[in-house]
Amino acid sequence: MFIRAAVLGVVLAAAVANGAAAEAEAYPSRPLTIVVPSVAGNVNDAVARLIGQELTKTWGQPVIVDNKPGAGTTTGTKYVARAAKDGYTALLTFTAHVQNPSLYQRIGYDPIADFTPVSEVAISSTILAVSPDFPARTLPEVVALLKANPGKYPYGSYGAGTTGHILGELFRREAGLQMDHVAYKGGAPLATDLAAGHVKLGFIAVGTAMPLLQGGKLVPVAIAGTERSALLPKVPTFREAGYKGFEPDAWMGLLFPAGVPKARVEALSREVARIVRLPEVAKKMQDLNLVPVGGTPEAFDTVMKSDRDKWSRIINDVGITLE
């Protein structure tokens, strides 16, 4: 029994020593991996690579962007939740992170408890847009036309369970409308069909829609968020028209697995804040139709918890569930 206790003591002492060594080790001293839980080539991937390039310049360590798409972002997210808590594996994710627990029954992780916030990197917006040949141009006009033609005009979103789908169902409920949902496999095919008039209205990300908006091939009607976007200052919010629940902004943020030493969290957070404020990076992010943020871990933690609660209420109220 004394031998077992002695062995246990040695093991515990070694664990403490290893933990202390990890804290004392210069950071970073080896490559960092940023996991993106979606396919390569999209806006999240582009931002991860922008940040990675600048981190490599500053820290002198390679930054690997690892795309792990699947199951509504849960595949890559679950991978990071179970990664080593050493500050060398991060997750560049977006609003779906706090929406998924209310959409899927078993995702295998807690979006808050299993992660440590690093920084809210940027915010974007979702808009209600209509085809150029759609006769309604303002939100009151759209609602009046849809009410006069129940079931005639389905709305499109960029996928089942996406922010566009959730906001579409909220709009349908709040305005008392009868309209079906058409779930596209991404924003690009939705944008193409909206511009061609195959579907007359849809909830689409500003970044995806912007080239078509600028070319007059899509017409913006209303934008989600607490206030008008600097990207589309003439487009009114849903709140301005008296509709509630459309306030949460869509965000993109960086997370570590829970348990990463605080000093390492703060080191990466400081770098992200610096990077997104670099004129050349800010310009590239604005070209992606994103508004750079670069907030603190504490600020991002507040946003995540608040948005989790808001989206949970909305998803439960409108009754969306996914398998």
- Taking the C-alpha atoms of residue 245 and residue 315, their distance in angstroms, rounded to an integer, is 11
Quote the pLDDT of residue 230: 86
C-alpha 249: how far from chain center: 9
Quote the pLDDT of residue 100: 93
Residue 216 pLDDT > 60: yes
pLDDT tens-digit map of 7-64: 445 444 444 444 444 556 799 999 999 999 988 888 899 999 999 999 999 999 999 9
The C-alpha torsion from 289 through 290 and 291 to 296, rounded to 10°, is -170
Neighbouring C-beta atoms of residue 291, cutoff 10 Å: 18
More confident residue, 217 or 41: 217
- Taking the C-alpha atoms of residue 240 and residue 134, their distance in angstroms, rounded to an integer, is 22
SS3 track for the chain: CHHHHHHHHHHHHHHHHHHHHHHHCCCCCCCEEEEECCCCCCHHHHHHHHHHHHHHHHHCCCEEEEECCCCCCHHHHHHHHCCCCCCCEEEEEECHHHHHHHHCCCCCCCCCCCEEEEEEEEEECEEEEECCCCCCCCHHHHHHHHHHCCCCCCEEECCCCCHHHHHHHHHHHHHCCCCCEEECCCHHHHHHHHHHCCCCEEEEEHHHHHHHHHCCCCEEEEECCCCCCCCCCCCCECHHHCCCCCCCCEEEEEEEECCCCHHHHHHHHHHHHHHHCCHHHHHHHHHCCCEECCCCHHHHHHHHHHHHHHHHHHHHHHCCCCC
Please report, for the chain, the start and end positions of each structural domain, with discontinuous segments joined by +.
29-123+250-318, 126-241
Task: Identify the CATH assignment for 29-123+250-318 out of 3.40.30.10, 3.90.600.10, 3.40.190.150, 3.30.1360.70.
Answer: 3.40.190.150
Residue 151 pLDDT > 70: yes
Q: What is the chain's mean pLDDT, rounded?
A: 91
Nearest to 292 by CA among 308, 307, 273: 273
Give me the CATH topology for the region 126-241. D-Maltodextrin-Binding Protein; domain 2 (3.40.190)
Neighbouring C-beta atoms of residue 22, cutoff 10 Å: 16
- Taking the C-alpha atoms of residue 285 and residue 46, their distance in angstroms, rounded to an integer, is 9
Percent of the chain with pLDDT over 90: 80
